[in-house]
Structure 1
Amino acid sequence: MNWKSLMATVVLGGSLVSGGSLAHAEKSSKVDLPVETPKFVKDHLKSSKVVSEKAVKKFFKDNQKQFKANPNKNLKFVKSETDDLGMTHFTFQPVVGNVPIANSRVVVHTDKNGEVQSVNGEFHKDAPAEIKQQKKVKKKEAINLAWKYIGVDRKKADKTQESLNGDTFDTLTENSNLVVYDDEGNYQLAYHVELQFSQPYPANWQLYVNAETGKVIKASNVAEEATGTGTGVLGDTKSLNTYLSNNTYYLYDVTKPMNGVISTFDNKHNGYYSLPGSYVTDTGNTFYSENQKAAVDAHYYAGEVFDFYYDNFGRVSYDDQGSSIRSTVHYGSNYNNAAWTGNQMIYGDGDGSTFTYLSGGNDIVGHELTHAVTESTAGLVYENQSGALNESFSDVFGYFIDPEDWLMGEDVYTPGISGDALRSLSNPNKYNQPENMSQYQNLPNTEAGDWGGVHTNSGIPNKAAYNTINSIGINKSKEIYYRALTVYLTPNSDFAYAKQSLVQAAQDLYGTSTANAVTQAWNAVGVN
């Protein structure tokens, strides 16, 4: 089976130009780790000049009543630092025996004259003098128990990634240290296990494993949400929802109200068998390089399309089930196309003449992700008139997402020529598409015939959409088109059935007058 025929069997939705599971967990849970509520003490403190660890310990002893305990019994000195204001900060680690209490510290702050200004931190005055548990679990065993708990294959996570400057770095970090874990006053001997990796998803897992039983007490992926910036295909600067893990920022958006995430990958021109590719990353959260431009737009516009469907229709991702939206840029070599492959987006770089980076058009991203919406709703078969409707609905929603003009793909099509586009809703004939049934082209239902002319005959329903929007306005039109797509259209709908579906949707939402306007819009293109 050659590559083109393989693509034809995989594509369930459609592509921008021609017809054409990566299932892995892309979820993150962020749970606050319970620790003793920190105290901040600054009044009624007795102290002489405090300039050393020994002096701090005397200070603690002199202020036992204020602290309602003798902090010297369970505090271990860590360091002292003097800041630009001349203040010195003495840091102590709360311990039981010699074992540190997790997520805790106490800091004594003195002014430049050595006078104590305040003391703050987690004092753990109710902590036991010793932990009676036996340490039955070994350090390495705790790490293995942590991998098992999070359900990730360590071998798959242990991958070396290539950075943007050509250097390589190991994205897997494992640490395990013995601590005392304060579980709401229940002090337990435990291992604090850290697992940081980028595959199969960016993660910074913090787990606590009971050192006697091996039970996981607490687990949280605390890889951080972040807001970065990047330069798009057209040179504009965009704000990006990113993710910080192991000192690396990922184009990985967990901010949307969905079960999954929006993630962006680099295929590095390798083609179908290398999908989805490598995560697009940056150490500074500034995605400004030439190689990152396509990814910046793919990531940003995927979020924009999610917001469009969610804000207008309450639709949660393309399947309304909150599934992840995955995009891959730099697909293939000089690939003049973009496509929804049934489980993700792919964007070519173009050949520099017909197209530049195809992710640079938000109407293109909207077009492709609408194929995914169509797949999970009407399921329009990608051939003949139902296939032309599939393409048309993607063009129409591409317009709804980018309503500045009636053109499709104008931002990235023929970069050396201004003012042209791939298609036009207002004037399909300008780009060799029919705009009336009298011009309908009976093309063979083959790859060479574009599966019955799905990208050709879509000009007819596109012109009907243009007529509709001009007659009743964009707001009513997008509601009507969405209702028709999700309620009335079925897989083998033809143009006449689409007309009836849109008319009925208009009747449902706005009544007879609007329904008549939709009827006239389709009559004008010869669908009677």
Structure 2
Amino acid sequence: MKKRTSLVLALGLTVGSVLPITAAATTVPYNATVKKDAAQFGKEAKVNWKEGQIVPSFVQGKLSTKVYKDKAEIKQFLKENKSLYQLDTDKDLTLLDVQTDELGSTHYNFVQSIQGIPVDGAKFKVHTDKDGIVTAVNGDVFPEASSYFKGALKAKLSKVDALDQSWNSIKVTKAETLTNAEAGPKGKKVEDTVEKAELVVYKNGNEFNLAYKTNLQFIQPYPANWVVYVDAVNGNILNSYNAVADGTGVGVLGDTKTLNTYFSSGTYYLYDTTKPMTGVIETRTAGNASRLPGNYSVDADNNFNATSQRADVDAHYYAGVVYDYYKNTFNRNSFDNNGATLRSTVHYGRNYNNAFWNGSQMVYGDGDGTTFRSLSGALDVVAHELTHAVTERTAGLQYQNQSGALNESISDTFGVFLDKGDYLMGEDVYTPNKAGDALRSLSNPELYGQPSTMSGYVNTTSDNGGVHTNSGIPNKAAYLTISSLGTAVAEKIYYRALTVYLTPTSNFSGARAALLAAAADLYGSTSTQYNAVKSAWTQVGVN
């Protein structure tokens, strides 16, 4: 990362079941057809439209008087209200899962599919309260996709062919990325190059393509988590971006920490088995090489006090702090909520001025001593990066344009939640010879080259559409929310919005709607908390 710009990383009316829906809170629709639909709504709900879509992205309020208690009844609800979303519930929507939360609300998570193939990013959610009343419907769906294809969808490329095309497109061979994985105290090896391919329907402007969504994750010759869309018929590359999410944090300050370690064959490992998780918290060292996961950080007397071990100690300790925060505050068991291992590798490269989540683990450089100190010691850094992992497993915010800026902002915001006391990111590690400097400020984004309102929004093709620049806008909204409500309230609202309402393609308006829905769930739609969230986003120009 560098100063000034961070591097890397409605429903139809059915008598007796559905209440009228209002357009009072809509954003500007993109054409007259949408306006006509919006005009028929009643006064009981808030509706958000996303520009360029023919159906609303978020409807929230009391949407039914009838009770809907299971997935069959929810599908019936959607059939009763087909006129707005224009989807065949049986053919176009695939139920992924049903979740009931601590408030008693139930969330039915669907994905739009065409002939059984998922539409990329087209998550669709229906939410009911504890009594079974529908309170929100949100997500991005594209009913026009259902009639776009003539005949059966059939890929002409295999997954292997698609992966070959993906590697060719980024001008790196798989062989160039492979390194030797090191065995740990229990003998298990971890590969550091991962490739995956999934057949999807990809929205490409106003067109739709049958495509393979491929992921290429590797650490050398450079850190990468590539997402590449390959046309499954002709092999053309439709889109690609590197979704490695980079960050920064506090350097090693010489403070003493108590560590959970593991003893095996006369050696102590930074390997924590004390958490209620199926995996472990483990820390490794790359030994100033560019390889992952590296060797385990070890010590003979369980006193990791050498200067060369300080980055290891902080990475290990703060990973545990972040785990405890999510577990104790939200009962979330690791980033995947299923107890996944939290792996960190320190001493990556030489004078490496960065830290990042590569899709499977954390990686920290030591810095060059001028731009950065060792990057592994900062709580706000570790919180930022591991929150990218939480986001990946919940909302799945795509790492480009407004959804990517939201992804960055969510990580900054949770960094502030954990590292309480200021609204700065990276102040203790960035430019160590310059006091009072930081990478970003939630309270004053302009101080570090970011806009704080939509009037300053930067349209750019660099940095995946300005994800590290335009994140200043939702960051300022987060600052206004936290300063008004306090951390304890704000973090509940943000976590609920992230895990319940946000979807892969949520934009800033969708984030506002998601946070308002979360505030309404927790505190009521006429509450001080709800109005504080509303005011924060209005002040940054997102309506």
**TM class, shorter-length:** 0.5 to 0.7
Q: Deviations over 1:406-457 (max 9, x none)?
A: 110111111111111110111111111110111111011xxxx111110111
Which residue pairs with 1:199 in the alignment?
Answer: 187
Which of 507, 516, 526 matches 2:520? Answer: 507
Which of 469, 478, 495 matches 1:482? Answer: 495
Runs (5+) with no aligned partner, structure 2: 10-179, 190-250
After TM superposition, the structure 1 = structure 2 runs for residues 10-21 of structure 1, keeping only pairs within 5 Å, are 17-20=6-9
Which residue pairs with 1:46 in the alignment?
Answer: none
Which of 292, 309, 316 matches 1:299? Answer: 316
Code of the aligned partner of 1:522 = W
Which residue pairs with 2:231 in the alignment?
Answer: none
Code of the aligned partner of 2:533 = V
Native 8 Å contact 1:366 1:398 kept in 2:
yes
Which residue pairs with 2:254 in the alignment?
Answer: 235
Native 8 Å contact 1:258 1:316 kept in 2:
yes
1:17 Cα offset (Å): 3.7
* Partner SS state of residue 306, structure 1: helix
1:200 Cα offset (Å): 2.6
Which residue pairs with 2:350 in the alignment?
Answer: 333
Which of 258, 271, 274 matches 2:277? Answer: 258
Which residue pairs with 1:516 in the alignment?
Answer: 531
Which of 426, 442, 448 matches 1:425? Answer: 442
In structure 2, how many angstroms separate the alpha carbons of the residues matched to 1:477 and 1:197?
A: 41
Which residue pairs with 2:431 in the alignment?
Answer: 414
Q: Deviations over 1:30-69 (max 9, x none)?
A: xxxxxxxxxxxxxxxxxxxxxxxxxxxxxxxxxxxxxxxx
After TM superposition, the structure 1 = structure 2 runs for residues 365-514 of structure 1, keeping only pairs within 5 Å, are 365-444=382-461, 449-511=462-524, 512-513=526-527, 514=529
In structure 2, how many angstroms separate the alpha carbons of the residues matched to 1:279 and 1:197?
A: 8
Q: 1:454 to 1:197 in 2, by over 3 A?
A: closer
Code of the aligned partner of 2:523 = Y
In structure 2, how many angstroms separate the alpha carbons of the residues matched to 1:333 and 1:322?
A: 32
In structure 2, how many angstroms separate the alpha carbons of the residues matched to 1:17 and 1:329?
A: 20
Native 8 Å contact 2:357 2:386 kept in 1:
yes
* Partner SS state of residue 265, structure 1: strand
Code of the aligned partner of 1:438 = S
Which residue pairs with 1:247 in the alignment?
Answer: 266
1:245 Cα offset (Å): 0.5
1:333 Cα offset (Å): 2.1
Which of 377, 380, 392 matches 1:360? Answer: 377
Code of the aligned partner of 2:470 = N
In structure 2, how many angstroms separate the alpha carbons of the residues matched to 1:366 and 1:434?
A: 23
In structure 2, how many angstroms separate the alpha carbons of the residues matched to 1:255 and 1:340?
A: 23
TM-score, reference length from structure 2: 0.55
* Partner SS state of residue 240, structure 1: coil
In structure 2, how many angstroms separate the alpha carbons of the residues matched to 1:19 and 1:233?
A: 22
1:197 Cα offset (Å): 5.1
In structure 2, how many angstroms separate the alpha carbons of the residues matched to 1:518 and 1:506?
A: 8
Code of the aligned partner of 1:265 = R
Code of the aligned partner of 1:450 = D
* Partner SS state of residue 263, structure 1: strand
* Partner SS state of residue 239, structure 1: coil
| Residues 1:269 and 2:288 aligned together | yes
1:290 Cα offset (Å): 1.4
Among all aligned residue pairs of Structure 1 and Structure 2, give the percentage whose two residues are the same amino acid.
62
TM-score, reference length from structure 1: 0.56
Two-structure CA RMSD over aligned residues (Å):
2.0
In structure 2, how many angstroms separate the alpha carbons of the residues matched to 1:303 and 1:235?
A: 18
Which residue pairs with 1:35 in the alignment?
Answer: none
Q: Deviations over 1:130-159 (max 9, x none)?
A: xxxxxxxxxxxxxxxxxxxxxxxxxxxxx9
Native 8 Å contact 2:442 2:479 kept in 1:
yes
Code of the aligned partner of 1:366 = A
Native 8 Å contact 1:17 1:338 kept in 2:
no
Q: 1:523 to 1:305 in 2, by over 3 A?
A: same
In structure 2, how many angstroms separate the alpha carbons of the residues matched to 1:284 and 1:322?
A: 29
Q: Deviations over 1:331-370 (max 9, x none)?
A: 1222211111010000111111111111111000000000
| Residues 1:348 and 2:342 aligned together | no
Native 8 Å contact 2:6 2:469 kept in 1:
no
Which residue pairs with 1:214 in the alignment?
Answer: none
In structure 1, how many angstroms separate the alpha carbons of the residues matched to 2:368 and 2:186?
A: 31
1:308 Cα offset (Å): 0.3
In structure 2, how many angstroms separate the alpha carbons of the residues matched to 1:472 and 1:402?
A: 17
In structure 2, how many angstroms separate the alpha carbons of the residues matched to 1:321 and 1:297?
A: 24
1:313 Cα offset (Å): 0.3
Code of the aligned partner of 2:321 = E
1:472 Cα offset (Å): 1.4
Code of the aligned partner of 1:199 = G
Code of the aligned partner of 1:481 = Y
In structure 1, how many angstroms separate the alpha carbons of the residues matched to 2:530 and 2:349?
A: 45
1:312 Cα offset (Å): 0.3
In structure 2, how many angstroms separate the alpha carbons of the residues matched to 1:252 and 1:473?
A: 35
Q: Deviations over 1:283-321 (max 9, x none)?
A: 010111111111100000000000000000000000001
In structure 1, how many angstroms separate the alpha carbons of the residues matched to 2:314 and 2:433?
A: 20
* Partner SS state of residue 307, structure 1: helix
In structure 1, how many angstroms separate the alpha carbons of the residues matched to 2:397 and 2:321?
A: 24
Which residue pairs with 1:133 in the alignment?
Answer: none
1:474 Cα offset (Å): 1.1
Bigger Rg, structure 1 or 2: 1
Native 8 Å contact 1:17 1:337 kept in 2:
no
Native 8 Å contact 1:361 1:410 kept in 2:
no
* Partner SS state of residue 258, structure 2: strand
In structure 2, how many angstroms separate the alpha carbons of the residues matched to 1:460 and 1:335?
A: 29
* Partner SS state of residue 331, structure 1: coil
* Partner SS state of residue 492, structure 1: coil
* Partner SS state of residue 402, structure 2: helix
In structure 2, how many angstroms separate the alpha carbons of the residues matched to 1:473 and 1:280?
A: 38
| Residues 1:527 and 2:542 aligned together | yes
Q: Deviations over 1:378-402 (max 9, x none)?
A: 0000001000000000000000000
In structure 2, how many angstroms separate the alpha carbons of the residues matched to 1:319 and 1:397?
A: 16
Number of residue pairs the alignment of both structures matches: 307
Q: 1:197 to 1:455 in 2, by over 3 A?
A: closer
Native 8 Å contact 1:345 1:368 kept in 2:
yes
